[in-house]
Structures are given as C-alpha cells and as structure tokens.
Amino acid sequence: MDRDLEEIIEKNVNLYQLLDITPYEEATNTKLDIPSALVKRQYRQKALLHHPDKQAQTSSTRELEENAVQFHFASLALKILTDTELKARYDSFYNRKFRSFQLSANDRAKYNEKQQGFKEALQREEADYNSYQSEWHLKQVFENRLNQLREEGLRKRRAMEKEIMLAKRTLSGAVLLDDMPLPPIAVSAKSEADREARTVKIKWLHREELKSLITPDIIKDMFSKFGAVDSCALLSGSSKRGTARLVFSDVQSAAKAVRYDYLEGNRGSQSLWFNTSYKKISSLLRDCKFVKEELTPEVQDHSNTKPASKTKPVSKTKPTSSTARSFVPFFNKQKYERQLNSRSQIEDAEIFTSDAALSFDQYLAKTMQRAAVFNK
C-alpha cells in the first residue's frame, strides 16, 4: 500500500471533509461520482488558505504548524482522490470508518412499522396484566363480603330463634318438646370441633422492610403449599413477632403445616418457597401450632369443686299425678334446649358448606320459614 495512503488511514483523516466534498447524496443515500476537476478546484482553495507562503508574518508558531499540517493533508487528498486505485482503497476505508448507516425511505417505514407493532404488543400485555390484577382483587373483595354476609345471616338467625324461644316460655310458662317438632338434622362433616382441628396459629419475626408486605392474602397464598386455606386473620402480636390464625379446608393440610420445620427446612434450596416470590418472607417464619380448643362451661372439669352440703333426705312418699306432671315441663325444657343447641351448631356449619351459594335474602327467607314452623 502507498505510504501516503497508510498515513491517512493511520491518522483517520477524512479527506472529503477536508476538501468540503460530499461523497453521498443525503436524500437518496447514493454514492456520487466525484470528478478530478472538482477535487483539484477544492484543493486550490485550501492551498490558498494553508500554504506556508501565504501566511502572514504576524502568525504565531502554533498557527504556522497547524496550517502546514492542513496543507500537507490537502496535498495527499489531491494525490489519492485523483488516482483511481488509491481512491478505491480509500473509499473502502471511508465507508467503514466515517459513513454512518442511513436507512432509505422504504426501510425507515418498515422499521417504524415494526417498532410500532412492538410498542402496541407491549401495551396490550401491560393492559392484560393490570386487568388480571384488578379481577383478582375484586374476587377477593367479593369473597370477603360474601363471608361477612353469611356470618351476619347466622347471627340474625340465632337471635330470632332465641326470641321465639323466649316468647314461648313467656306465654306458656314451660316449653314442651311436643310443642316444637324438630325437623330431621343432616350431619355435617365440618362441625365446630372439626373447625378447631383445622385451625393453626403461626408466628414470624418482624422486619421493617417486609412488615407492610405480610397481609392475610399473602399468608393464605404462602400456606396453600400445604393445602387449601379457608380463611386467615392477623392477630395482635409483640413488637418482635407477628401472629396469625389460619383455617385449612381439611385436617391433613393443617397437620402438614404444623409438622413442617420452619427453622431448618427454610434454609437454602430446601425451602418450599425457594423458587417463589415469598422467599424472603418465608425466612421469617418461626412456628406453627394447632389452636387449643377452649373448654365450654358444659364440659369443664369440676373435680376441684367443694362437695355440696348435706341436705335432709327427701321423703320417699309416692308422688301424686299432679306432682309427677309438674316435673314434665322442666324435663322436656332441658331436653329440648340440649337438642336445639346441638342442632344449631351443626346447622351453622352446614350453611357454610351446603348452602354457600345462598344470598343473605335467601338466608333470611329460610329463617322466617323456620320461625313460622316454630310458632305453630
């Protein structure tokens, strides 16, 4: 390769820019045929400016050196751009080094169309994601509201039954079992005792940066690893630990949650939540136990109570017919209350399972129908 061309390439000199020549048409991006006459004319104009003999005597040494370099490069440009072989070699270097990539009108239209397609696809995906999040939130709100209506219906039903009982007692002075026939009772699988067996209490450590992320919905989603979760409620804990109560759909799922080792099992890849978004939150879990069933007054242990005082033995005289009849209402009253309480507890749980689709108005209509039976 010619030494002059090597010098130009080594110093990355743009000869076309030096001589103020445009090698490509900007509108069509096509290469122009540059005649030698144009190169020589542009060279003469640069030579008049940078030739050493044309410099003023008052010019500084730096200005003289810069003009000498510009005149030297202009001379090399005249030599290279007027030689066909050297110009072809330089144009190859120029296209790689100085010519920026420019799209034609058709290519630019295709590029803009494809870019617009990508943008619209991204917007559709974002809209679908936001719609899914909104639907999930509305579903959770609806389920919570439906549970509240069910519980409210149960409370009103129980209150109405008690009012009917009190009205019967006030009018007759005693409630006979024959006065209020009980309909057949369907035994429900999820009784009150079964609910206690499916209820667990969990504890976790407080972290300020994660405290706002621990919600009932998050806890339900986390513990669904063990099985379906019916409900979750946050409890008041200490400043260092938080607590919550979970009710599983079955006893087996609750037992899995209690048996899980939350200290050793949550380390590294052994954790159930290792590949989930709950990895950090799960590391705060410390304990999971069954909720102890509280003893009701009817089943409390009375072994430590003081023995009753000795009373005078009752006479063993044979009771008359009137005396025997006076004990019948009291006996039937106790027997009826025991059956009514047992039936109410079973039916309360049954409503949540078999009649889950009923609205509050339907519950109220059903209760009024039962009240009409009681008043007969």
Q: Which fold has domain 192-290?
A: Alpha-Beta Plaits (3.30.70)
Q: How far is the C-alpha of 243 from the C-alpha of 224, rounded, in Å?
A: 17
pLDDT at position 304: 42
pLDDT tens digits in sequence order for the chain, 376 residues long: 478 888 888 888 888 888 888 887 766 667 778 888 988 998 898 888 888 888 887 778 888 888 888 888 889 888 888 888 888 888 888 877 776 555 556 666 777 888 888 888 888 888 888 877 777 888 888 888 888 888 888 888 888 888 888 776 666 555 444 445 555 444 444 466 778 889 999 998 888 777 778 889 999 998 998 999 999 998 887 778 889 999 999 989 999 889 988 887 677 777 888 888 888 888 888 889 998 644 333 333 444 444 444 444 444 444 444 444 444 444 455 555 565 555 555 555 555 444 445 566 666 677 667 666 555 5
pLDDT at position 340: 58
pLDDT at position 342: 55
pLDDT at position 298: 37
Indicate yes or no: pTM above 0.85. no
| Tokens at 89, concatenated | 């070699």
Tell which residue, 287, 271, 264, 283, has the closest CA to residue 203: 287
How far separated are the first and last CA of the chain, in Å rounded?
119
CATH superfamily of the 3-97 domain: DnaJ domain (1.10.287.110)
Within 8 A by CB and 6+ apart from 163, the residues are none
Structural domain boundaries of the chain?
3-97, 192-290
List the beta strands (DSSP E) in 256-365.
285-290
* Contact between 162 and 175 (Cβ < 8 Å): no
Q: Do domains 3-97 and 192-290 have the same CATH topology?
A: no
pLDDT at position 264: 76
DSSP 8-class letter at 204: E
The four Cα atoms 250, 132, 355, 233 give a dihedral, to 10 degrees, of 50
Tell me whether residue 287 is exposed, middle or buried, using C-beta atoms within 10 angstroms of its C-beta: 0 to 12, 13 to 18, 19 or more: middle
- Residues 31, 34, 39, 42, CA torsion sign: negative
How many beta carbons lie within 10 A of that of residue 271, not counting itself? 18
